[in-house]
Amino acid sequence: MKIKYSFIIPVYNREKYIDRCLDSILKQKIFNIPFEVIIVDDGSIDQTEKHIRNYLSPHIHYLKIKHSGPYIARKIGIENAKGEYILFVDSDDCITEEYLKIIDQNIKDYDILEFGFYSKDAKKNFLPYDNDSSIYLKHLVSSRYKGYGGSLCTRAFQSNLFKKFLLENYHYYYIEDYMLLVHVYQHAKKVGNIKQVLYHIYPSDNSLTRCQFDERRFSTIEIEEKILQLLKEYNQHYDMKKEIMYSKSFVLQEVLVLSSHLYLNNYKVWNKNKNRLKTYVHQYSSFAAFYYLSWKMKIGYFIYIISPTLFFFIFKHYILLRKIHHEK
């Protein structure tokens, strides 16, 4: 029987969360639609593999690779997928029981289908925006700016989209999924959306974003710069001026946040790269980019320009207050 849906789950040291993720897939309220689950273990060194092996079956596959980062793990999952459609689920998240049923009812007319998600961190739902342009790359960038985000996990894809560009061996660790989205949205002929929450994003205490503070984080800026360059090339044929400004504000924001995290958690790496980070701030500072920053980041930017030390001090206490708030 032909496989219709391929779930791809990259996983790295998720022994505490992988059961919840896989259980949510196996509890789908849908029948007679063949699907497979491809779990790509990015070199876990905890008990993740032991948990996964309790779920293995003819349609749940387990691939283990040496630690290479989530981009490579997703790439291997895509290359091994046999489904007509590809669905991504992060190993510390889960999907609703109606997820596959609702997607199956709506996806047939689209190359990409966007849907809503709930963020446990933010404690609220996020729904996709209607397309306001026939250039879907514009829609992707503006949706990210509005807050819908750049995650593969909040969309369903025709698998053929991933055959239209080269999946390179990038060792990216952060926002690598947004890089893939930029590629697939360039090739999509029709993008639709469902105004329903089908995906739940949970914070995890050992995620890369939360616990790794080293030079791998500079890949975030590298990706943002590549996307910005691509938008500039598109601007020769389409009006992408606003999207370019959005992207410049993304870079500026990433630099400020990265600089803060390194200063507070890995001073040695920050000190080694402080001039590089300062150069980024000046390179992407402009009135237009500043205009598209959130009000919190605007305040942070002004404080950083006045005194980086004061900025880091305030950022540290802001993080502590957020942690206390979430623990209540």
pLDDT at 322: 65
pLDDT at 323: 60
Q: Tokens in use for 251?
A: 């870079």
Q: 287: Cβ–Cβ under 8 A, 6 or more apart, which residues? A: none
Q: 264: Cβ–Cβ under 8 A, 6 or more apart, which residues? A: 312, 315, 316, 319
E strand spans, the chain: 5-11, 35-41, 60-64, 85-88, 94-95, 112-119, 124-126, 155-158, 191-201
Q: Which domains does the chain have, with CATH numbers?
A: 5-205 (3.90.550.10), 213-327 (no CATH)
User: Cα torsion at 67, 209, 173, 88 (round to 10°)?
Assistant: 90
pLDDT (tens place) for every residue of the chain, 328 residues total: 799 999 999 999 999 999 999 999 999 987 688 999 999 999 999 999 999 999 999 999 999 999 988 999 999 999 999 999 999 999 999 999 999 999 999 999 899 999 999 999 888 999 999 987 789 999 999 999 999 988 999 999 999 999 988 787 777 777 888 989 999 999 999 999 999 999 999 976 655 444 567 788 888 898 999 999 999 999 998 999 999 999 999 999 999 989 988 998 899 999 999 999 989 988 888 887 888 988 888 998 989 888 888 988 888 877 766 665 555 5
End-to-end CA distance of the chain: 50
pLDDT digits (tens, 9 = 90+) for 45-101: 999 999 999 999 999 999 999 998 899 999 999 999 999 999 999 999 999 999 999
Nearest to 271 by CA among 232, 310, 308: 308
pLDDT at 149: 86
Question: To 5 degrees, how large is the angle CA 244–CA 140–CA 164?
Answer: 105
Q: Tokens in use for 270?
A: 């920050």
pLDDT at 296: 86
Beta pairing, strands 124-126 & 94-95 = unpaired
The secondary structure of the chain in percent helix, strand, coil, rounded to multiples of 5, reads 50, 15, 30
Beta pairing, strands 191-201 & 112-119 = parallel
244 and 284 Cβ atoms separated by less than 8 Å: no
149 and 227 Cβ atoms separated by less than 8 Å: no
- Kindly tell me the burial class for residue 127, based on how many C-beta atoms sit within 10 Å of its own C-beta (0-12, 13-18, 19 or more): middle
DSSP codes of every residue in 56-118:
-BTTEEEEE--S--HHHHHHHHHHH--SSEEEE--TT-EE-TTHHHHHHHHGGG-SEEEEEEE
* Cα separations in angstroms, 116 against 74, 96, 136: 22, 11, 18
pLDDT at 42: 95
Q: Tokens in use for 203?
A: 């914070």
Written as one letter, the residue type at 151 is: S
Beta bridge partners of 41: 11, 64
pLDDT at 210: 47
Half-sphere exposure (Cβ direction) of 85: Cα atoms closer than 13 Å: 22
Instruction: Enter the pTM of the model.
Output: 0.90
Task: Return phi, psi of residue 239, to 5°.
Answer: -80, 100
How far apart CA 175 and CA 71 sit, in angstroms, is 9
Task: Return phi, psi of residue 64, to 5°.
Answer: -115, 130
